[in-house]
Chain A
Amino acid sequence: MAHFIDRRLNGKNKSAVNRQRFIRRYKQQIKQAVSDAISKRSVTDINNGEKVSIPGKDITEPFFHQGQGGHRERVHPGNDQFSPGDKIKRPQGGQGGGSGQGDASADGEGEDEFVFSISKDEYLDLLFEDLELPNLKKNQLDKLVQYKNVRAGFRSEGVPTNIDIVRSLQGSLARRVAMTAGKKRELHELEAKLALVEAEPVPDQHQLMALREQIELLEKRIGAVPFIDSFDLRFRNFQKRPEPTSKAVMFCLMDVSGSMDQATKDMAKRFYILLYMFLSRSYKNVEVVYIRHHTQAKEVDEQEFFYSQETGGTIVSSALKMMADIVKDRYNPAEWNIYAAQASDGDNWADDSPQCADLLAQQILPFVRYYAYIEITPRPHQSLWLEYEKLQQSFDNFAIQPIRQVADIYPVFRELFKKQAA
């Protein structure tokens, strides 16, 4: 009257559809939470999902139920002190302590936040949703080539340091066996014959002499086979194999002068995140260098880069100079793939802009894989843009794009990198 079914192999995600429905319904709230979360998140942190919290009161399911007040009677267990007629002070905070069966908060209505986690993919989908992010294709980036020595079998010529002793002795043993086996067999036969002759009551002296002579000759010939011959030697072989370097460094340059507000910085941050995601699909290790500048440039950590307030004017060349210096010091262009993204609202001292163009053309663009400049501003372009525009014609690893609103980021990003792929 009973049968057992093993359901363990059935899918466990029976609730997946309902979970999607939930996320679909609360997309606005979740998206808000995700965009809030981005400011707490590091640029390089793209492998995790996100914890999302939405206000508990938004997701309750209302139904008619009793409120507080009126006349109630309840039974409780564990009387340890009361007698009929005792008066008890009403517990504070509604019916705490007193009332049992869930009339206190049967609807789960509270100001508690409803917190849950979304996966990495859900996070990225939501984050770039208004950018309509398609699946990123792994573009063929122009990678730097390095050579690495790798073992490639054995060869019979080489320098003494590369002699492989085991292989060489194996060869020697084989050669010795091959060269002496026939002679040894003959020797054994002669020795046996000699023993027979010697065993005779009257040995034939003549025969004995001849046999001994033959044996001596054979032993001499066997002894003449060398223990090791140059023919036996084996050398380890090495080959140079070209290997794309997996090291990349990404320079984030940003103007932090008074004219850059937090919204602009957040837009820039999204751009940097995209670039980082993109690069980390092509390279194993991506380092990030943050350089911010107003009239002076400074290398900072991520937190300071995005969230510290500065005021003052803008001299872009200071940051470019600093980048060139850092490259010289720490990131040898022969070993590192260098990428740079510069974000600015376009402000610059007018006579600094030509200097920037010079710096880029001479000290930076020859060494970097790609340099992207995004100008986040609704205003008309200024001197920096005009200088950069001229530069763009002579360098194909240099791109500039204006961004006006958040929705522009992804198309601009794609535009920037499409050019490279072509």
Chain B
Amino acid sequence: MSSVEQKQPLSDGPDWSFELLGQYQAEIERVAKLYKLDTYPNQIEVITAEQMMDAYSSVGMPIGYNHWSYGKKFIQTEQNYKRGFMGLAYEIVINSNPCIAYLMEENTMTMQALVMAHACYGHNSFFKNNYLFRTWTDASSIIDYLVFAKQYLSHCEEKYGISEVEDMLDSCHALMNYGVDRYKRPQKISMDEEQKRQKDREAYLQSQVNQLWKTIPNKGDLSAEHEYRFPSEPQENILYFIEKNAPLLKPWQREVVRIVRKISQYFYPQKQTQVMNEGWATFWHYTILQHMYQENLVTDKFILEVLHNHTNVVFQPEYHSKYYSGINPYALGYAMFTDLRRICEHPTEEDKEWFPDIAGSDWLETLHFAMQNFKDESFISQYLSPKIIRDFHLFAITDDDKESTLEVAAIHNAEGYQQIRQTLSAQYNLSNIEPNIQVYSADITGDRSLTLRFIPNKRIPLSDNFQQVLKHVHRLWGFNVQLEQLNEDGSVKLLGSCPL
């Protein structure tokens, strides 16, 4: 790639045309191929700002079922946009095959090129190759599945009324984060199968449920009965448990639970790869466009506009800035991938000590390996280098409610690197962020009550709105629902129940 041939620069706009988009896309694709970016085919859609707001409010699903909460999001987006509180994103990209990317009409030619490099080659290759996406999502069938979900739900609305369906969706949305199997590899979802199987499933599921609840208490062996707990092990996938076991749900309601569960699962990898995904895409839009600049394919004016936007994207405000709202995933991700390349190409003594296996290796291979096999948590704990910690001036704060003050646990010095790396990595661990709540038992022989158990992580309590969520669980379960807390000392405290 060092042999740089001189070419005629492409027009730098500012207005774009479809012809020009095509030329840029072809060049970007050629450069992406040089860097071995493996992508789904691209479907690039040009849309207006209003359509971008529509896309926003359906949380990035190109086809969403109807629900009031999306209307709320739309109204909020519209309000903010109209008042000028926020700009719209330049692009939205969807993990599907072909990979759908939206370009906004208002962008300049330069921005369109930046967005194409970022979304259509950066994000796209990430979606196709990262292990989480490969495991959890099936890009070729998601559009079909969303079509199925939308049709099914509107069919239900016709049959059972909008309010009934809305109630179900409300309750399922409240438990959306608890609709994922973290450790079991999920099945792929596609519309054909889905429709074929859906009818059979209704009947089958109901028969299973009936079987479970038909159990008339067996008067014979009372002592054995007390030993028996259902489920035999706690279940982390609450929605799945409800779908399979809730006594009173009708078959269509079980299907609604399933739809929400599947969509939650589709978004599960995105929650865990924010830093990596954005970092990867940002790294590639920068690298690809710089490559084109060196080939003289783009003008000075073009690259200056790119750099201007790029620096805005990777800006990291400091902790005391009024713009500070946590670590910017674009900034951290981009810095880490850039640093990885540096470690491979120009390792220092420190790098050789910290990263003996990659210092001096082929950078492209190392980057691809890192992109394919990690999520944010493991990526940081594997690759966060002392240089990045120094560059960002990272420091760790311990906030213990038993102490009257906060304490600085570690800073960017030799003693602190390891701890900062661990703390930052833990910060991206979903199980540290989302409360650990599992189905503990369902009293199938007695009053049919459901017991959920909350296990606090480092004594962090549950937010006090849990009572409202319990109402939703109760609606789905149909009988009493209790929420317990398992304390560190092994004691169990009843947090709440519904009905009260």
A21 in contact (CB, < 8 A): yes
8 Å CB contact of B66 from A21, A95, A99: A21
Give how many B residues have a beta carbon under 8 Å from the other chain's beta carbons. Answer: 101
Q: Which residues of B contact A21 (CB under 8 A)?
A: 66-68, 70-71, 162, 166
Confirm or deny: A328 has a beta carbon within 8 angstroms of a beta carbon on chain B: no
Taking the complex as formed, is A379 at the interface, i.e. its CB lies under 8 A from any CB of chain B?
no
Stretch at the interface among A11-19, A32-40, A363-371: A11-19
Chain A contacts of B415 at CB under 8 A? 84
Q: Which residue of B lies closest to A86 (CB)?
A: B408
> Across the interface, do B459 and A69 meet the contact criterion of CB distance under 8 Å?
yes
Q: Is A153 on the interface with B (CB-CB < 8 A)?
A: no
A106 CB to nearest B CB, Å? 8
* Stretch in contact with the other chain, from A55-63, A339-347, A405-413: A55-63
In the complex, chain B residues 41-88 whose Cβ is within 8 Å of any chain A Cβ: 41-48, 50-51, 53-54, 57-58, 64, 66-72, 74-76, 78-79
Interface residue from A4, A59, A62, A79 paired with B468 (Cβ < 8 Å): A62
In the complex, the chain B residue whose C-beta lies closest to that of A59 is B72
Q: B494 within 8 Å of A by Cβ?
A: no
Which residue in chain B gives the minimum CB-CB distance to A2? B42
Q: Which residues of B contact A64 (CB under 8 A)?
A: 177-178, 434-435, 437, 462-463, 466, 469
A200 at the interface (CB under 8 A from B): no
Determine whether the beta carbon of A14 is less than 8 Å from that of B51.
yes
* Contact assessment for A75 and B44 in the assembled complex, using a CB-CB cutoff below 8 Å: no
How large, as a class, is the contact surface on chain A? 35 or more
Encode B393-431 as 1/0 by CB contact (under 8 A) with A. 111111111101111111111011000100110110000
Tally of A-B residue pairs with Cβ under 8 A? Answer: 275
Q: Which of B42, B51, B401 contacts A10, CB < 8 Å?
A: B51
Contact bitstring B312-325, A, C-beta under 8 A = 1, else 0: 00001111110011
Chain B residues within an 8 Å CB radius of A60: 465
List the A side residues contacting B464 at CB < 8 Å. 67
A73: contacting residue among B64, B409, B465, CB under 8 A: B409
Whole-angstrom CA separation of A323 from B167 in the bound complex: 57
Measured CA separation A84–B417 after assembly (Å): 12
Contact status A75-B424, CB under 8 Å = yes
- 11 A–B contacts from the bound complex (CB under 8 Å): A2-B120, A3-B41, A4-B46, A21-B67, A22-B68, A59-B72, A63-B173, A65-B435, A72-B458, A85-B407, A97-B319
A-B residue pairs, 4 tightest by C-beta:
A78-B318, A100-B326, A22-B71, A70-B460
Using CB atoms and an 8 Å cutoff, list the residues of chain B in contact with chain A: 18, 21-22, 25, 29, 39, 41-48, 50-51, 53-54, 57-58, 64, 66-72, 74-76, 78-79, 102, 105, 120, 162, 166, 170, 173-178, 316-321, 324-327, 392-402, 404-413, 415-416, 420, 423-424, 426-427, 433-435, 437, 456-466, 468-469, 472
8 extra interchain contacts, Cβ-Cβ under 8 A, other than A69-B459, A74-B399, A100-B327?
A10-B47, A15-B70, A19-B74, A25-B68, A69-B460, A78-B319, A82-B408, A101-B433
